[in-house]
Structure 1
Amino acid sequence: MQQTDFLVIGSGIAGLTYALKVSQQYPDKKITIITKSREDETNTKYAQGGVAVVNDLENDSFEKHIEDTLIAGDGLCNERIVEMVVTEGPERVSEIIEWGANFDKNPDGDFSLGREGGHSVFRVIHHKDVTGKEIERALLEAIHRRPNIQLVTHCFVVDLITQHHLGYLVTKATPDIECYGVYVLNLTNKKIEKILSKVTLLATGGNGQVYRSTTNPTIATGDGVAMVYRAKGRIENMEFIQFHPTALYQPGVNPSFLITEAVRGDGGILRNIHEEDFMHKYDPRLSLAPRDIVARAIDSEMKITGTEYVYLDCRHMDIDKFIHHFPNIYETCIAAGIDVQHQMIPVAPAAHYSCGGIKTNEWGLTSIRNLYACGECASTGLHGANRLASNSLLEAMVFAHRCFMDATSKIDSLEFKENVPDWDARGTNAPREMILITQSLKELKQIMSDYVGIVRTNERLERAMRRLDILHEETEALYQKTEVSPQLCELRNLITAGYLIVKGASFRKESRGLHFNTDYPLKSELVQNIVL
């Protein structure tokens, strides 16, 4: 058993920012960060575009950024949260720069600003086309300079510890559910250990691996959302899965390589297989419409032409400028046999971001006491029915700070929970056939991709739910009799995430933002969040 004052699950921008702030405020307290893979293997590392933040007050304003966010969110954003994130954002960005993150600048010393879909002006600060990787580098270097932070890699969190593990009946109606820490599978010694904490932060990222094609790394398996749902915490708006319109089309490659929206911001044009510019048929903002609109437009064109991709045309762009701004994209395309100066880039939508997740308040606190959530795993009210491009890193910084403020205001009044039992693995045996897990994962990805993708119908959702019920029953039976493994836990978490996406989509009797159901093509006058 271990004890730590502050426990952080996840080592992306949300978890690391929070841990740094806590460490500086309380140098005498212990902060433990747990990650199931390498310390830098996070969704943050794969973020290309940048951070949307008001910086150029001559051409931009808080009001413009707020309006762009609300328009993209299609009526479901919490306006108070949007205003809070947008106005607090510049100070948070300044802090991350102080910690060592570098952003591209013009010769005059001002930030080089990009523009992406849904933005009315150029406001996205970036580090070439690897912004997330640069932020991750800077934060990890700062983390390693803090002696009271312990960063533990290859440690898989199995479950949150609540009153349930003390023998009490816990349901969604139970008042004051509390989190006392976590059970973790130490991948080094293959043993399940318990870590008790006064405060726990979930910064576990997204759930893109529930789909066959995703820009998310293989670690994005919905762990945080699934754990909170099992602990009877509140989850909301899971039906709003953002498909990035332009992932490099490479069948069988997982994850899919992202072609950042900033390429379209710099002039890239979407064309169908007949090389026709088609976006004028769908939105006056053309290739820079919000992601939900562009993804549906591409999906429509692929169905009309019977192809699995469209093209992103960059042939007319200045090649030197392209290579300077998008070196990673240029090199990846060259490696795939695509010369962007003379050839168009084949692209197709891929699952990219979960706008819903663990329901939190304005301080990042979940419905479970002493448990916070931040980053993509959280549903804060900022994104509504569709996230505005490059608002995710900003949200993570702002809410990491707010989680830090609230947690540190309470920490001195909290105690460790006594008499938490050890993990009980009696009656379980070593797995005999890994095919039972790998085949179920394939089935899950196929079900979600074919029935719960960019365009949905009631019949598809009903069929998906029936098949997920079978997968759930089979996997739970396997879980009860088999020793815990990361593969089994991830499958279990992904099935839960898939179930929550389908359940939310089934409850939403309208088409709004990222959720488009051909049986309800119009928006409902009744706007509501789907809480599960």
Structure 2
Amino acid sequence: MKREYDFLVIGSGIAGLSYALKVADYGKVAVVSKTELKETNTAYAQGGIASVTYDPDTFEKHINDTLIAGDGECNVEAVKKVVKEAPEQIKQLLQWGTDFDKKKDGQFDLHREGGHSEHRILHHKDNTGAEIQRALIEEVHSHPSIDVLQYHFAVDIITQHHMGKVTEPWMRDIECYGAYVLNKNTGAIETILAKTTMMATGGIGSVYHTTTNPLIATGDGIAMVFRAKGIIENMEFIQFHPTSLYNPSERPSFLITEAMRGYGGILRRQNGQEFMEEYDERGCLAPRDIVARAIDNELKLSGDEYVFLDVTHKSAEETRNHFPTIYNKCMSLGIDITKDMIPVVPAAHYLCGGIKVDLNGRSSINQLYATGECSSTGLHGANRLASNSLIEALVFSDAAAKDAIETIKNIEINRRIPDWNDEGTSHPEEMILITQSNREVQQIMSKYVGIVRSNIRLNRAYDRLEVIYRETEKLYQDSKVSEKICHLRNKINVGYLIIKMARKRKESRGLHYTIDYPNKLED
């Protein structure tokens, strides 16, 4: 089955849906979502969205905070672009119906988070992402030019090599013609042809065992572009959120937003002692990489399984009002956060690298864009400043939309693309092979490629992953395509990229910390 569109969007978070809304007046749009539209990384974002709003905040302060957090690896032009265009994108969110909390005088109730020098985080209680996702979904469903394909899973983007042509990574004439997509309801692989394709598939958290991401965050877009010989960069920079709720039986891990530390939350050892001042003069408001490593070190030194985040000294009414989602979640586990300290541990949270794109969101593959967490815009550098991700997605989706609207004027749909061919394949007889390999990948990445790394750990991870890669590729070639085997294959691809780039970086910088090279190289 073939479908044709002007704009194909793979992914349904803030990056994909905002892009779809901005191009929909200029052509036919398909939004591919592998579950429901609401199941995205965006919907899990608690803290908020950063934008300069009121004095004494300035663009210069926001730019400087972002560059400091990025530890010398940011693209300065990308930083300036996001910061300066943020207010206009906030206005667009408001026009789409997003509701941000306000004070009695009508001004936005701005939070401050780690690494920020001013209060600049707009939020909706402690479920900002879910509120943004709600507003975007309503707008998308009401637009007549947007087809929403829920329970459709993108298997691979279509390029010249599907027509029998050989392409190399150094080539700059690779073109994207759409994607092969698994219809999960029928089991059939559909061919979706498009003049332009947007990759907005979100993060890679499920490559690790402990993550705040939804379990569908398996790095699909990055893996697809990697297999198509697109340029991927900065995969070594994995952000571990310092504070996820310690509850070993639950996956994904429940996030305890950084806004709670901005609110005055204090990190304590199990004996009640504060410890962050021993690691950084900014204490609990230090950037995430510093706080995550500090907690990791405390747990290694003490042998404890968690530390505490304490807000019991704050007003109980204010705490319940500001953080109702966290309050209710903890109460369900018998923890009253107005009286009890919250047990927390770091968890894989955000990827700062990904598909390399320019300031218009264009990847190295022609007619293929990428925005959101799967992309590497240069904004985050070696470490993302809190609450910069949602605004980055909006700004770069806007830039990509403007570029794509012009691009389609000179593009014809390539109808010579063959349908998916799975002759000679069968359904795997033993699904336990996929399940067990998936567990092994997560264990390898968590044990050897986590917050603190070393040469010997990375080498061991590489060797172990290579064995699983060979086994999985053989199984993939012999099997009917399923979401489970594609997820495993994508996780292996992503794990390989993280390890490869971590081994190449002979220094500690930002989120990449190795005991073999504990210091930064001079910039």
When normalised by structure 2's length, the TM-score is 0.99
Q: What is the CA–CA distance in structure 2 between the aligned matches of 1:320 and 1:183, rounded to whole Å?
A: 52
Q: Which residue of 1 aligns with 2:509?
A: 512
Q: What is the CA–CA distance in structure 2 between the aligned matches of 1:386 and 1:364, rounded to whole Å?
A: 20
Q: Which residue of 1 aligns with 2:38?
A: 40
Q: Which residue of 1 aligns with 2:122?
A: 125
Say if 2:391 is the partner of 1:390: no
- 2:21 counterpart letter in structure 1: L
Partner secondary structure for residue 6 of structure 1? strand
Partner secondary structure for residue 487 of structure 1? helix
Partner secondary structure for residue 159 of structure 1? strand
Q: Which residue of 2 aligns with 1:200?
A: 197
Deviations 1:150-174 (A, max 9, x none): 0110001000100000001112123
Say if 2:349 is the partner of 1:352: yes
Unaligned runs of 5+ in 1: 528-532
Q: Which residue of 1 aligns with 2:281?
A: 284
Partner secondary structure for residue 465 of structure 2? helix
Deviations 1:174-211 (A, max 9, x none): 33100001001101110111000000000000000000
Q: Which residue of 2 aligns with 1:530?
A: none
Q: What is the CA–CA distance in structure 1 between the aligned matches of 2:56 and 2:315, rounded to whole Å?
A: 25
Q: Which residue of 2 aligns with 1:31?
A: 29
Partner secondary structure for residue 376 of structure 1? helix
Say if 2:42 is the partner of 1:68: no
Cα RMSD after superposing both structures: 0.6
* Identity rate, percent: 59
Q: Given that residues 159 and 174 in structure 2 are in contact (C-alpha distance below 8 angstroms), is that contact kept between their aligned partners in structure 1?
A: yes
Deviations 1:259-290 (A, max 9, x none): 00000001000001221100011000000000
Deviation at 1:430, TM superposition (A): 1.1
Deviation at 1:3, TM superposition (A): 0.4
Q: Which residue of 2 aligns with 1:7?
A: 8
Deviations 1:425-480 (A, max 9, x none): 01111111110000001001100000000000000000000001001001001001
Partner secondary structure for residue 406 of structure 1? helix
Q: Given that residues 437 and 491 in structure 1 are in contact (C-alpha distance below 8 angstroms), is that contact kept between their aligned partners in structure 2?
A: yes
Say if 2:448 is the partner of 1:451: yes
1:215-230 correspondence to structure 2 within 5 Å: 215-230=212-227
Deviations 1:368-397 (A, max 9, x none): 000000000000000000000000000000
Deviation at 1:253, TM superposition (A): 1.2
1:54 counterpart (35, 52, 55): 52
Deviation at 1:412, TM superposition (A): 1.2
Q: Given that residues 273 and 305 in structure 1 are in contact (C-alpha distance below 8 angstroms), is that contact kept between their aligned partners in structure 2?
A: no
- 2:187 counterpart letter in structure 1: K
Q: Which residue of 2 aligns with 1:249?
A: 246
Partner secondary structure for residue 114 of structure 1? coil
Q: Given that residues 7 and 197 in structure 2 are in contact (C-alpha distance below 8 angstroms), is that contact kept between their aligned partners in structure 1?
A: yes
Deviation at 1:418, TM superposition (A): 2.5
Partner secondary structure for residue 480 of structure 1? helix
2:436 counterpart (435, 439, 442): 439
Deviation at 1:5, TM superposition (A): 0.6
Deviation at 1:252, TM superposition (A): 2.8
Deviations 1:16-67 (A, max 9, x none): 001101113x2xx2111001001110000000000010001x2100000000
Q: Given that residues 361 and 399 in structure 2 are in contact (C-alpha distance below 8 angstroms), is that contact kept between their aligned partners in structure 1?
A: yes
1:191-340 correspondence to structure 2 within 5 Å: 191-340=188-337
Q: How many residues align?
A: 522
Deviations 1:197-251 (A, max 9, x none): 0000000000000001000001100000000000000000000000000000001
- 1:201 counterpart letter in structure 2: M
Q: What is the CA–CA distance in structure 2 between the aligned matches of 1:266 and 1:96, rounded to whole Å?
A: 25
Deviation at 1:502, TM superposition (A): 0.5
When normalised by structure 1's length, the TM-score is 0.98
- 1:52 counterpart letter in structure 2: A
1:522 counterpart (516, 519, 522): 519
Q: Which residue of 1 aligns with 2:143?
A: 146
1:180 counterpart (177, 180, 184): 177
Q: What is the CA–CA distance in structure 2 between the aligned matches of 1:214 and 1:156, rounded to whole Å?
A: 22
- 2:31 counterpart letter in structure 1: I
Q: What is the CA–CA distance in structure 1 between the aligned matches of 2:504 and 2:446, rounded to whole Å?
A: 19
- 1:10 counterpart letter in structure 2: G
Deviation at 1:398, TM superposition (A): 0.2
Say if 2:496 is the partner of 1:499: yes
Q: Which residue of 2 aligns with 1:372?
A: 369
